[in-house]
Structure 1
Amino acid sequence: MTTKQLHQEFLAGSGICTDTRNIVENCFFIALKGANFNGNTFADEAVKKGAYRVVIDDEAFKNEKTILVKDTLTALQELAAFHRKHLKLPILSLTGSNGKTTTKELINAVLSKKYKTIATQGNLNNHIGVPLTLLSMTSETEMGIVEMGANHLHEIENLCQIAQPDYGYITNFGKAHLEGFGSLEGVVKGKSELYTHLKDHDKTVFVNGAETKQLELTKTMNRVVFNETIIQLMDASNEVKVKFKNTEIQSKLVGLYNFNNIAAAIAIGDYFNVPEEQIKTAIEGYIPQNNRSQRLEKAGHKILLDAYNANPTSMMAALENFKQAEGNRKILILGDMFEMGSEAEKEHQHIVDFLEQNPFGKAYLVGSNFNKTKTKASHIKTFESFDDFKKQFKAKDFKNCFFLIKGSRGMALERVLNLL
């Protein structure tokens, strides 16, 4: 079956599905495989639950509603690329080391004030998530917003081949996924694959004027440079407040590092002619969730919860922000930064060295990487695991404190909230 024929079958159904736990009536089910599962084995179950068609790549699981292809993942990606060309709608893609998901959510909040948008759900931004995002778009969609994640070279390049973006934005270049990229230079090269695609197809890129490296990389491209007209009005302990033209915008996002995320959403909204007041409404109405830059209060404590992810760049940004924030009795609970590869020891020690030289609060460092670091500072304590930390953490020892909680997703440091 050709991709065009497969697309006709897809359009006859009611949306895409890859998990039998989430099947809706008349959906188009694609049986993907992974290291620990084989979607082909769920073909009969998918039909029983109401799937219109089931795409498989193992003829042993054929039934009256299956479509046999050579490889289901390839079929998914080719179908998404075909669907994207079929719809002919403008696509904005974004990537970067930090702030991708928050920026994507802000951009969607702003653009949806004027357009019917579809954006990446959560952080489904990989070789499966990007195709699923594209296939969730319909003839009614007026603009697509596609987040692209990567932890090695050529990944963004491949995602661009599928999404064919018309516009692009890179949040920043930071020390993330060093295990896959090898170095910061590797990160720059990998993320810049978005720039390469946009330049090769004569498309447009949005560039933060404060990012010197990005200004250099995009100087021969069609670009929209922003930041000059957006002014920061805040201190480090409060929600970010900005002024755009004649409008002051009070967000619910905490942290100096979120200024660039907000500025990007404002600039992109302005470029696409979203009215100033609607931009203000969208930014002010966005509430951070999923452990990203959340400001909480519990048991008399103020808490900055940023436990969704961490890498050396985002960790240092959070620490610099917390250092400047107003408030006494500061407590830092930091978890290991993952996917650092051979740089893990150096990068974790760098964080410890910073905390030694800047004793603005007591620091509790959790995880095997932090536990290997060296320090003689009395205000820094390290723990091999969360369980070790939990055994020694006594809520009664803390009163009216200001907590920063940050670590990689695998550390699940939001569990600290239960200890309070």
Structure 2
Amino acid sequence: MYSVAQIHAILGRQTDALVDPTLEIFDLAYDTRKIRHGEHSLFFALKGIRDGHAFIGDAYQKGVRAFVVSQRDLDLSLYPAGNFIWVKDVLLALQRLASYHRAQFKKPVIGITGSNGKTVVKEWLTQLLQGDKQVYQSPKSYNSQLGVALALWNLSDDYDCAIIEAGISQPGEMASLEAMIQPDIGIFTNIGTAHAQGFSTKQEKIREKLQLFIHSSDLLFSSRYDIGPFLSKGVRGFTFGYMSLDDVQILQIADDGSLATTIKLSYAREVATFSIPFRDKASIENILICITALLFFGYPLAKITGKLAKLRPLDMRLQLKKGKNGCSIIDDSYSNDLGSLQIALDFLFQQQQHSKRTLILSDMAGLDNKLRQKLLDLLRRQELDRIILVGSGTYFLQDGLHTEVLFFKTTDELLSAMRNLTFEQESILIKGSRAFHLEEVSKVLVAKSHETVLEINLNALEHNLQLYRGMLPSGVKLMAMVKAFSYGSGSYEVANLLQFNKVDYLTVAFADEGVELRQSGITLPIMVLSPDEQVFETLVAHELEPEIYSFRILNALIAFLRRRHIKHFPIHLKIDTGMHRLGFMPDEMEKLMEALCHTDTVRPISILSHLVASGNVDHDDFTRHQIAAFRHCAAALEDATGFPLIKHIANTSGITRWPGAYMDMVRLGIGLYGVDTSHTLDLELVGTLKTTITQIKTLPAGETVGYDRKGILTRPSRIATVKIGYADGYNRRFGHGAGQMAVNGQLVPTVGAICMDMCMLDVTDIVAHEEDEVLVFPDLLQAASNIGTIPYELLVNISSRVKRVYFYG
């Protein structure tokens, strides 16, 4: 797309060291983990939680030969074929390049912002326009300072228009997004509470968001948000709402009693009625925005009616599911374009549990010759074992790929052939346009399970990890706790993400957990808590590092290693400074030093202890005592043995409250999964337990519900039965109203006793239907408090029979 020399000029002719100014650049890179063939990539050494300059060597090894950097003291002799451009601010340089590239696009660009609904409106509007126009959309929720720049890079004249999403969380961010996107037409979805903490008032948030449209000709929005007075001069408003002055007037919105909603509208003296397959307020508002946009673009009401009938709910996240025959299924079958395909492929290669990788790919809308070549080039760069193509428009790929390729004209043809295809011990990415219904392929490949699901948000886990990592000084290592099935969240699925994000250590409770991670491709160092003699062979065979807590275990391990003629086996020494659970006591240090100095079979890697009450201010004096005692023990042990030891005592609450206890490494546990008992951090909950309503029945006052007739109804009631019970990990103590679940955003109590596979809810006071989704723990901390326990117990007790579905993107 551009040569290195051209990019050099675009960025303002900063200092440079160009070896090959003619080198053509097709891809932008900022994360070396996602680079597989870097010959034509430009690497931006961004400074965030980690400094991108530290990864220039990794990028160079992966073939990258062009770099944008800000660090002046680089040793260029290490990169003899590298082209370097020096700038003051690397992110600003990336944005400047994106802004220049956007300016070359002379067709309409639609910018979307607002508190909520941006991605849904973007996706739906793309679907609605796709049949008439070739539409480019920013992939997924690429709406940040970095995401927008990356999204704009793939914009080209092959498209008739572009829809770009922009999001901000604090004042001052929108100006740079506006400079990049330069929207001709704007869409403002709504104003709500999202990111409210970043703005002093609602008015300030509106003004900041509207900065995106200061040079736009028109802005589409709902009159209910009253943003007209904040519009920049020269920007025309095009509104929808209930007022007669609105361009699109809402005459009626009615729930038809089923799963649909009827909307009656008036526009340009015409009246039309639409039926949409949604009941929730958010979807209704998002569809009204899309209708308004189509009317603005000149679509007649009659044509819009037919287009809306094809809309379906969007699940815009990559879903990682357990498949049959040991497979892992990545389901991303709701849309298909080059940008989102690249994201999905990156996630596929992030999975290490299988060496074999298969891509099932449908046709893409509007592929012309240029886009076909781009798709072919993208797939050639992937190390895929098999590609299964669906749709006649993909036929051109058959001869251009150097891997096994199977072709099917339709999804039905593929489904018919699947009984003769082998899928076993592999990671499978299913990527398809909605019209191809590849979710049916997913249903065939995914293992059947209980209908209650625990949704694991890998984006949230990554967010929490980076939040804690951002608190740590440079050089402090991070150990992530993945014991107890990662607090109920899953083993290798979570470990893969942690390995991808380069944590330093993983910790499991039992050797078997470590073995499963090793068999799933996890290569990080793994510490095993409290091992016993029966697992020594397993530890050695799978390179697992034991925590040693007593002389009995230490002596037994030394004897075992001597019999195997093994030397310098890595161990971690546990010191008991006050928990009084496991560990060597401080007065045993001299004996421990002597034992370690007289053997070469083991090699201490770290020394650790556990804080008893680091999150409790009432026990801060005891925490100080523990830290001081641990430092004394660690120093004595290091002096006596001569081994430099990694010292770690800070747990999750220790990271938050005791920065003086960071030492060489910290151990991140429950905070990683979104539980913040200190209430001071902006964590995101990783696991969401959901079920559905099986049946609703109306019962008179005086009837009883559940075992032993203890659920006595004092009024005529509507009782909903949901598919979760104590066998799923929903504790029996939640019975008789102690538990509350959320149906359509409304809290409802349990009725009667919790059964093994089901329980009952009182939905008398809310709108609820059979098959409605139910959120089991609307507030995890409150739920734990209600039955006198802690969030840990609720998470780790979620049964393994509950299906885990992993989302990313």
Q: TM-score, normalised by structure 1?
A: 0.66
Deviation at 1:392, TM superposition (A): 5.9
Give me the whole-angstrom Cα distance separating, in 1, the residues matched to 2:746 and 2:288. Answer: 32
Residue in 2 that maps onto 1:177: 195
Give me the whole-angstrom Cα distance separating, in 2, the residues matched to 1:273 and 1:195. Answer: 24
Residue in 1 that maps onto 2:293: 268
Deviation at 1:194, TM superposition (A): 3.8
Of 43, 46, 49, the residue aligned with 1:33 is 46
Question: Does the 8 Å CA contact 2:138/2:163 hold for their aligned counterparts?
Answer: yes
Question: Does the 8 Å CA contact 1:97/1:172 hold for their aligned counterparts?
Answer: yes
Q: Which amino acid in 2 is paired with 1:190? A: K
1:37/1:300 CA distance change after superposition, 3 Å = closer
Aligned length: 358
State the secondary structure of the residue aligned to 1:146.
strand
Question: Does the 8 Å CA contact 1:118/1:145 hold for their aligned counterparts?
Answer: yes
Of 241, 266, 280, the residue aligned with 1:255 is 280
Give me the whole-angstrom Cα distance separating, in 2, the residues matched to 1:248 and 1:85. Answer: 38
Deviation at 1:89, TM superposition (A): 3.2
Find the structure with the greater CA-based Rg: 2
1:223/1:393 CA distance change after superposition, 3 Å = same
Residue in 1 that maps onto 2:675: none
1:149/1:46 CA distance change after superposition, 3 Å = same
Deviation at 1:273, TM superposition (A): 3.7
Deviation at 1:358, TM superposition (A): 8.3
Give me the whole-angstrom Cα distance separating, in 2, the residues matched to 1:205 and 1:147. Answer: 14
Q: Which amino acid in 1 is paired with 2:287? A: I
Give me the whole-angstrom Cα distance separating, in 2, the residues matched to 1:10 and 1:73. Answer: 23
Residue in 2 that maps onto 1:42: 55
Question: Does the 8 Å CA contact 1:113/1:282 hold for their aligned counterparts?
Answer: no
Deviations 1:81-134 (A, max 9, x none): 111122233221112222121111112222333222222211121110111111
Residue in 2 that maps onto 1:288: 314
Give me the whole-angstrom Cα distance separating, in 2, the residues matched to 1:96 and 1:382. Answer: 40
Residue in 1 that maps onto 2:10: 3
Deviations 1:247-276 (A, max 9, x none): 74544x562321111121222133224576
1:247/1:37 CA distance change after superposition, 3 Å = same
Residue in 2 that maps onto 1:155: 173
Question: Does the 8 Å CA contact 2:111/2:186 hold for their aligned counterparts?
Answer: yes
Residue in 2 that maps onto 1:222: 236
The higher-RCO structure (CA 8 Å, 6+ apart) is 1
Deviations 1:356-379 (A, max 9, x none): 898649974455664698xxxxxx
Task: Give matches, 1:19-418, under 5 Å.
Answer: 19-20=31-32, 21-24=34-37, 26-51=39-64, 53-59=66-72, 60=74, 62=76, 63=79, 64-70=81-87, 71-182=89-200, 185-186=201-202, 188-198=203-213, 200-201=214-215, 203-209=217-223, 211-215=224-228, 217-218=230-231, 221-227=235-241, 228=248, 232=253, 234-235=255-256, 238=259, 242=263, 248=274, 250-251=276-277, 255-273=280-298, 277=303, 280-281=306-307, 284-290=310-316, 329=720, 360=766, 364-365=776-777, 370=782, 384-385=790-791, 387-390=792-795, 415=804
Deviation at 1:234, TM superposition (A): 3.9
Of 27, 37, 49, the residue aligned with 1:15 is 27
Question: Does the 8 Å CA contact 1:95/1:170 hold for their aligned counterparts?
Answer: yes
Question: Does the 8 Å CA contact 2:136/2:159 hold for their aligned counterparts?
Answer: yes
Give me the whole-angstrom Cα distance separating, in 2, the residues matched to 1:67 and 1:110. Answer: 44
RMSD: 4.9
Deviations 1:198-241 (A, max 9, x none): 3x4352100124x2423554597401113545664545872556
Deviation at 1:41, TM superposition (A): 3.3
Deviation at 1:300, TM superposition (A): 8.3
Question: Does the 8 Å CA contact 1:127/1:159 hold for their aligned counterparts?
Answer: yes
Deviation at 1:331, TM superposition (A): 6.2
Question: Does the 8 Å CA contact 2:453/2:804 hold for their aligned counterparts?
Answer: no
Give me the whole-angstrom Cα distance separating, in 2, the residues matched to 1:14 and 1:100. Answer: 28
Q: Which amino acid in 2 is paired with 1:222? A: R
Deviations 1:116-163 (A, max 9, x none): 222221112111011111112113233221111111112223311222
Moved more, 279-288 or 140-149: 279-288
Q: Which amino acid in 1 is paired with 2:289? A: A
1:144/1:290 CA distance change after superposition, 3 Å = closer
1:286/1:132 CA distance change after superposition, 3 Å = farther
Deviations 1:275-311 (A, max 9, x none): 764774476244411469x9xx9978699989899xx
Q: Which amino acid in 2 is paired with 1:142? A: D
Question: Does the 8 Å CA contact 2:254/2:261 hold for their aligned counterparts?
Answer: yes
Q: TM-score, normalised by structure 2?
A: 0.37
Give me the whole-angstrom Cα distance separating, in 2, the residues matched to 1:147 and 1:394. Answer: 39
Q: Which amino acid in 2 is paired with 1:389? A: L
Deviation at 1:192, TM superposition (A): 3.1
Deviation at 1:395, TM superposition (A): 10
Give me the whole-angstrom Cα distance separating, in 1, the residues matched to 2:23 and 2:222. Answer: 39
Give me the whole-angstrom Cα distance separating, in 2, the residues matched to 1:61 and 1:236. Answer: 70
Moved more, 107-116 or 118-127: 107-116
Greater share of residues in helix: 1
